[in-house]
Amino acid sequence: MCGIIGCVGREDETLDVLVHGLSKLEYRGYDSAGVALTGDRLGICKQAGEIEALREALEARTLSGSAGIGHTRWSTHGPPTDENAHPHQDCSGDVAVVHNGIIENYQQLRDGLVSAGHHFGSDTDTEVVPHLVEDELAAGADPETAVRRAVARLEGSYAIAVVVAGSDAVYAARNDSPLVLGVGDGTGAAEDADAPGTGEGDGDAAADGQAYYLASDVPAFRDFTDRVVYLDDGEFAVLSAEGCRVTDVDGNTVDKPVDTVDWDPEETGKSGYDHFMLKEIHEQPRAIRQCLRGRVDEMTASVDIGDLGDLSPTGVQFVACGTSYHAALYGAQLLREAGIPAQTFLASEYATSPPPIGDALVVGVTQSGETADTLSALREAAKRGARTLAVTNTVGSTAARECDHALYIRAGPEIGVAASKTFASQLTALNLFALGTTRTGDTRDVIAALRELPSDVQQILDDSAAEAIAETYVDADGYFFIGRGLQFPVALEGALKMKEITYKHAEGFAAGELKHGPLALVTSETPVFAVVTGDDEMATKTVGNVKEVEARDAPVVAVTDGQSTVERYADHVLDVPETHPRAAAVLANVQLQLVSYHVADKLGRSIDKPRNLAKSVTVE
């Protein structure tokens, strides 16, 4: 939900580094932002609105300091206002805090602080933290101890970073919210990056010293270093010019491994597209290739998904949210086809009312690996003794580290808040999971179809009629999506995409369910997108459902490979290449992505940063 950045050791460049980092984190939240820099007095600037508003506010200020923290916010407590923007301060103004997560006992803490005479300036849960630190400092504690004691009183999820006047350090703590450290040199190293400190002739600052960064996600400081340390829950870190020290709950120093991230910082550029989402839709052939690379062998009909070991699950429970939930619905179907009992649960429901697990493998599907609801469901399953697997895009993420096994979808960074390429990669990876853990008769056919996916997707991208269809129906009252079998999750995903980026009403249904209620909503002003591929009994039945809506004068857009008779009842057709049913779901989804994108574009929506949404939702 929110994004945190911190840095020490960059001398005069601190502010530039923080603002640059915030711009890279904007996908996590963008309704207010702020920074705090150290010194004898703290320098603070915060502003409602996107990072650009903060940038403008900073132009009138001269903030400097050798350490600092920053925050970009997605509101949970209190509306997006200047007051509610982070960093938050104590009464004296000598403590500043940024926070991502939810402090569950904040009301109780706040009541105690208010009655002790503290004055609160915001509606946020976060503001209790600086006041707690203030009390500890007043009691004579040094800054590190003060922050440590304050954090110890918090319940809930948090990644917190604190600066204190008179101390050139950043104090940080993590519990259930992502926080990663970066280790670089004082020059802002990265050799090929276009970022502050890497431009012409400013290599004077602390050239020999070390610089340390902390952030909710690696892209925030990837331009400066590729060496990272992933913090674990309960850990506490102090970053200062002298070094970076990580300690556990009890204060014992922890020797953390330094990992190297291998992706290129500039993968997060828009490469000529108006929106990240369109770029990411077009990247799907490449993303699918990466997902499959080295993992399938058509000649021997074999799949190699690395060190997952022999999972041979006797049952599988998927937990996921949003787009990942739709991918999980598809994944469960693949396993059931192979005779393995498999179910899919909304992670937020599973976490609070889990079903009996038995000896099922519990699989969490999460792009970021940080989705709080999914992590919570996985932890609940682990607590009950279940084996867990994370299907994720993010190496080193919490889900990947906490689960017994991880399967990476290898889609590369996705910046658009509405998931596109990662859905295609999730479906591809779930095929690998199903093939790798089960035995079915048509393994070679499925592998061949997967290998053809990149070019089949490319064919859709080359020839899609989606933009013209979007033009026709941009003013519709609402949009319905229907599909059966493996195309049912695609119908749900098509509707979700439409909601997310066009702000228009859209619903996806199992094709057979339409007549049991939703048909009452269907009018001549509500186009129905019918996904019908193949020519089997399933397709024939869906064509029957299409006739039902056609008879109610609803415009019909068929997404089809032309094998069934659906085109006869359709006003428009979106073609997909003929292929295996498993691959057909990926292809149909690409057409629906394009329709939603073009409708949103024609409506002038904020496609990459839809209102009220954030990319990875790290609160429950």
Partner 1 sequence: MSIDTAVVLAAGEGTRLRPLTRNRPKPMLPAANRPIIEYVFDALVAADVTRIVVVVGYKRDRVQNYFGPTYRGADLEYVHQHKQLGSGHALLQARAAVNEPTLVLNGDRVIDTNIVCDVVEEFEATGDPTMAVLERPETSQYGAVVLHGGDVAELVEKPDSDDYRLINAGVYAFEPDIFAEIEATDRQEGELALTETISEKLTDGRVRGVRTEGMWVDATYPWDLLAVAEEVLARGHVGGTDRGDGVRVDPDATVHGSATLQGPTVVGPDCEVGPGTVVGPDAALGQNVTVAANATVRRTVLDSDTRVEAGSTLIDAVVGQDVHLGAGSVVPGGPADVRVGRQVFPDQRLGAVIADRVLAAGDVSFSPGTLVGPRAYIGTSVRASGTVAEGAEVVR
The footprint of partner 1 (CB under 8 A) covers 191-192, 194, 264, 266-273, 279, 282-283, 285-286, 289, 292-294, 297-299, 451-452, 454-456, 458-459, 461-462
- CB-wise, 117 or 294, nearer to partner 1? 294
Smallest distance from partner 1 to CB 199, Å: 12
- CB-wise, 134 or 456, nearer to partner 1? 456
Place of tokens 């911190």: 6
The helix or strand, by DSSP H or E, that contains position 99, with its residue range, turns out to be strand 95-103
Smallest distance from partner 1 to CB 499, Å: 26
Q: Count the Cβ atoms, other than its own, within 10 Å of residue 114.
A: 13
Residues 580 and 382: beta-carbon distance below 8 Å: no
Task: Using only the alpha carbons of the chain, give its radius of gyration.
Answer: 25
Residues 17 and 188: beta-carbon distance below 8 Å: yes
- CB-wise, 249 or 261, nearer to partner 1? 261
Smallest distance from partner 1 to CB 613, Å: 24
Query: Catalytic site residue 46?
Result: no
Considering the candidates 2, 244, 291, 403, report the single residue annotated as catalytic.
Answer: 2
- CB-wise, 271 or 314, nearer to partner 1? 271
Smallest distance from partner 1 to CB 557, Å: 22
Residues 30 and 615: beta-carbon distance below 8 Å: no
- CB-wise, 190 or 372, nearer to partner 1? 190
Query: Catalytic site residue 615?
Result: yes
Smallest distance from partner 1 to CB 588, Å: 18
- How far apart are the C-alpha atoms of 328 and 568, rounded to whole Å? 32
Smallest distance from partner 1 to CB 123, Å: 40
- How far apart are the C-alpha atoms of 537 and 564, rounded to whole Å? 10
- Say which residues have a Cβ less than 8 Å from residue 555's Cβ, sequence separation at least 6: 472, 473, 476, 524, 527, 528, 571, 572
- How far apart are the C-alpha atoms of 372 and 470, rounded to whole Å? 34
Smallest distance from partner 1 to CB 467, Å: 13
- CB-wise, 301 or 395, nearer to partner 1? 301
- CB-wise, 458 or 472, nearer to partner 1? 458
- How far apart are the C-alpha atoms of 476 and 549, rounded to whole Å? 16
- How far apart are the C-alpha atoms of 73 and 4, rounded to whole Å? 9
Structure-derived torsion over alpha carbons of residues 402, 406, 412, 416, reported in degrees to the nearest 10: -60
**Cis amide leading into 87 (omega within 30):** yes
- CB-wise, 259 or 578, nearer to partner 1? 578
**DSSP reduced 3-state for 116:** coil
- Say which residues have a Cβ less than 8 Å from residue 589's Cβ, sequence separation at least 6: 423, 424, 427, 490, 493, 494
591: left (phi over 0), alpha (psi -120 to 50) or beta: alpha
Place of tokens 């020490």: 8
- CB-wise, 297 or 525, nearer to partner 1? 297
Name which of 74, 68, 139, 133 is nearest 100 in CA terms. 74
Torsion 128-130-132-134 (CA) sign: negative
Query: In Å, how far from its chain's centre is CA 603?
Result: 25
- CB-wise, 200 or 310, nearer to partner 1? 200
* Residue 367 one-letter amino acid: Q
Smallest distance from partner 1 to CB 214, Å: 26
- CB-wise, 266 or 477, nearer to partner 1? 266
Residues 414 and 322: beta-carbon distance below 8 Å: no
Name which of 442, 446, 412, 423 is nearest 588 in CA terms. 423
DSSP 415-461: -SSS--HHHHHHHHHHHHHHHHH---TTHHHHHHHHHHHHHHHHHHH
Torsion 347-352-357-362 (CA) sign: positive
Smallest distance from partner 1 to CB 344, Å: 31
- How far apart are the C-alpha atoms of 113 and 84, rounded to whole Å? 18
- How far apart are the C-alpha atoms of 6 and 515, rounded to whole Å? 55
Considering the candidates 46, 256, 279, 615, report the single residue annotated as catalytic.
Answer: 615
- Residues catalogued as catalytic: 2, 615
